[in-house]
Amino acid sequence: MATAAILKQHTPPGPPPISTNPLGQLRFGLRVTGDPLNVMLGWFKEYGDMVHLQFGETAHVYFLAHPDHFHTVLVEKADQFHKAGSYKDKIRGLARILGNGLVTSDGDYWRRQRKLIQPAFHARRIEAYAEEMVNLTLHMLQKWQDGQRVDMNQAMMRLTLAIVAKTILDTDINDDAEKIAEAVTVFQHLAFGVDIFPLWLPTPSHLKQRRVEKAMNDVVTALIAQRRNVTEDRGDLLSMLLNSVDEEGQGMTDQQIRDEIVTLFLAGHETTANALSWTWYLLAQHPEVEQKLHEELDRVLQGKAPTLADLKKLPYTEQVLQESMRLYPPVWNMSRQALADVEVGGYTISKGSEVNLNTYAMHHDPRWWEDPERFIPERFSPEREKQTPRMAYLPFSSGPRVCIGNSFAMMEARLILATIAGRYRLTTPESYQLQVEPLIALRPRGGLLMTLQKRRTESGQRLVLSETAR
């Protein structure tokens, strides 16, 4: 009783403890896993910025949504936290598919890998991919027709997949790339869906998991073996990984390269595809923003496809994407585990506790964002951006574990948005009801069916657009 009273004073408020008996777990699992985002938002509303949840007698989970708390966990005391939750679970979580890659690893091992991989993301290296990104987008557009209906979520997934396949593996989108993509999608559902059966049970879904996992591992293993025999730098990320050595002259083993490739495949295509999907959805709902975007694109590009050099002349295009990632941050929640007792926001988070940083809640908080539910790209104009509190906008996280692909993703998303919006308007049917599906990335549930409209000039003429990048 005395212990409970002391604990109460030292823990933030939260829902009643969750029983560890199987029925209690199942009930909780179904409620939270079924709709984790809304459940968490409800808790923040009821209990404030820091929510505590206890499982049984000893396990504690914290949910945070305040910019200062993000700063403490991600920057100031980053070395006192490791990755947690579904990142680490080797049976049902991301670690099963990603192994010990950059997203799931920790400590000295992570530091070494980050150092080895970082050069692959240097500006000069990734800028070389700009033309390829535009060409792959134009290639997709060649198959589009005026009036056609397209699932834009699927189209963006395919396009960003083609881009990672080219930039990571220097391969065109083919059966091999599809096998990797299928596996990462299936395992996301395993990590974030509800599955009450033990994994050894041969349910159709478990059999599918085993099949796609094997297919993916076979592809990646063969690919590495093939490329080990070639010493030339093909300009892709795999070349960098194969040729990189640490201070002791040690390179990466095949297993390490396998884990990093699969990690980059997952981290590098889902997130960008979803950021773009939300952008198309928001543009369709906000014709005044869409018009301003079109004006910028038409003025700067004059009907041509964008190049890397054009990007700095397209500030509104960037603001549209930034605001879209505020409203729908692709990585909406980040999990960590405390390595020691750590003080955050005046409370002690005990060693071993799990901490969830809810970027979505922070991005929708009226204390930091005026009219937070409204889509206003001008928030990110140079004049207004300064008004946002530090750390209140973190689509790519912050601190040592900040997204390594940040610049890659922003370059890619701007080029794709400019290429497509220069040629097409996309509309949603009136009956469309948006539903958010929070897996590892926030995505539109059931896809995003949109109608393509070739853009016309003010006098009603179809725009004549050059199909080649300058």
Sheet with 149-151: strands ordered across: 149-151, 449-454, 424-427
Residue 116 sits in the site that holds ligand HEM (CB under 6 A): no
Residue 273 sits in the site that holds ligand HEM (CB under 6 A): no
Torsion of CA 223, 226, 229, 231, to 10 degrees: -50
Residue 401 sits in the site that holds ligand HEM (CB under 6 A): yes
Residue 444 sits in the site that holds ligand HEM (CB under 6 A): no
Interface map 193-232 toward ligand HEM (x if CB under 6 A): ----------------------------------------
Residue 102 sits in the site that holds ligand HEM (CB under 6 A): yes
At 438, is the secondary structure helix, strand, or coil? Answer: strand
Tokens found for residue 165: 């396949």
- CA dihedral (217, 218, 219, 224) positive or negative: positive
Of 407, 269, 390, 285, give the one whose Cα is nearest residue 330. Answer: 269
Q: In sequence order, which residues have a C-beta less than 8 Å from that of residue 113 and are 6 or more positions away?
A: 101, 102, 105, 252, 256, 260
Residue 275 sits in the site that holds ligand HEM (CB under 6 A): yes
Number of H helices, E strands in the chain: 18, 12
Residue 67 sits in the site that holds ligand HEM (CB under 6 A): no
What is the DSSP track for 354-399? EEEEEHHHHHT-TTTSSSTTS--GGGGSHHHHTTSPTTS--TT--G
| CB neighbours of residue 134 within 10 Å | 23
Interface map 376-395 toward ligand HEM (x if CB under 6 A): -------------------x
Residue 272 sits in the site that holds ligand HEM (CB under 6 A): yes
User: Quick one: which of 157, 190, 224, 267 contacts ligand HEM (CB under 6 A)?
Assistant: 267
- Give the whole-angstrom CA distance, residue 419 versus residue 138: 7
Nearest position to ligand HEM, beta carbon: 405
Residue 405 sits in the site that holds ligand HEM (CB under 6 A): yes
Q: In sequence order, which residues have a C-beta less than 8 Å from that of residue 418 and are 6 or more positions away?
A: 297, 301, 306, 310, 311, 314, 317
Instruction: Compare residues 401 and 425 and give the one whose CB is closer to ligand HEM.
Output: 401
User: Quick one: which of 11, 137, 263, 277 contacts ligand HEM (CB under 6 A)?
Assistant: 263
Return the range that interacts with ligand HEM (CB under 6 A); candidates 248-256, 328-336, 340-348, 361-369: 328-336
Return the range that interacts with ligand HEM (CB under 6 A); candidates 34-42, 194-202, 266-274, 301-309: 266-274
Of 418, 428, 415, 420, give the one whose Cα is nearest residue 140. Answer: 420
Residue 125 sits in the site that holds ligand HEM (CB under 6 A): no
Residue 103 sits in the site that holds ligand HEM (CB under 6 A): yes
Residue 43 sits in the site that holds ligand HEM (CB under 6 A): no
Binding site for ligand HEM (CB under 6 A): 102-103, 114, 263-264, 267-268, 271-272, 275, 330-331, 334, 395-397, 401, 403-405, 408-409
